[in-house]
C-alpha cells in the first residue's frame, strides 16, 4: 500500500467515517464533517549533492459545522502535523494543517 493510501486509511479511522476526500473534483458533493487533503509540499534533504531524503507534504483541511469539533484536536496529534490556519466559509469551520507523511 502506498504512503498516501496509508494516510487515507488513518484519516478515515480518525474521522470515524468515509468522508475523507483526496483532491476532490468540483463535481463531488462533500458530506460533513469531512477531511479534504491534497499534495502540497515536499520536504527534501541533500547530501553530497544528491537527494538524501524526500517526504511528501499534504495540506489537510478539517471541515465541520461544529465550532467545538474534536476532530481538529485528533488531527493535530498526528506525527509530523502542524496547524496552519483557521477560516470560516458558508457557515462551516475549516481547520487547515500541514502534514508530512
The pairing of beta strand 92-100 with beta strand 34-47? unpaired
Q: Give the domain ranges of the chain.
A: 3-20+30-100
The pairing of beta strand 81-89 with beta strand 50-64? unpaired
Predicted local confidence at residue 80, as pLDDT: 93
Predicted local confidence at residue 33, as pLDDT: 98
- At 4-55, the pLDDT tens digits run 999 999 999 999 999 999 999 999 999 999 999 999 988 788 888 888 888 8
Separation in Å, CA 94 to CA 27, 46, 72: 20, 35, 9
Residue 64 pLDDT class (50, 70, 90 cuts) = very high
Whether 8 and 19 have beta carbons less than 8 Å apart is answered as no
pTM: 0.89
Amino acid at each position: 500500500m502506498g504512503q498516501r493510501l496509508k494516510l487515507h486509511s488513518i484519516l478515515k479511522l480518525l474521522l470515524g467515517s468515509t468522508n475523507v476526500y483526496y483532491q476532490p473534483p468540483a463535481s463531488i458533493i462533500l458530506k460533513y464533517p469531512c477531511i479534504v487533503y491534497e499534495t502540497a509540499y515536499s520536504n527534501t534533504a541533500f547530501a553530497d549533492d544528491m537527494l538524501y531524503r524526500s517526504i511528501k507534504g499534504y495540506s489537510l483541511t478539517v471541515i465541520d459545522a461544529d465550532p467545538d469539533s474534536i476532530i481538529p484536536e485528533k488531527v493535530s496529534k498526528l506525527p509530523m502535523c502542524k496547524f496552519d490556519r483557521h477560516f470560516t466559509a458558508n457557515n462551516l469551520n475549516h481547520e487547515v494543517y500541514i502534514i508530512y507523511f
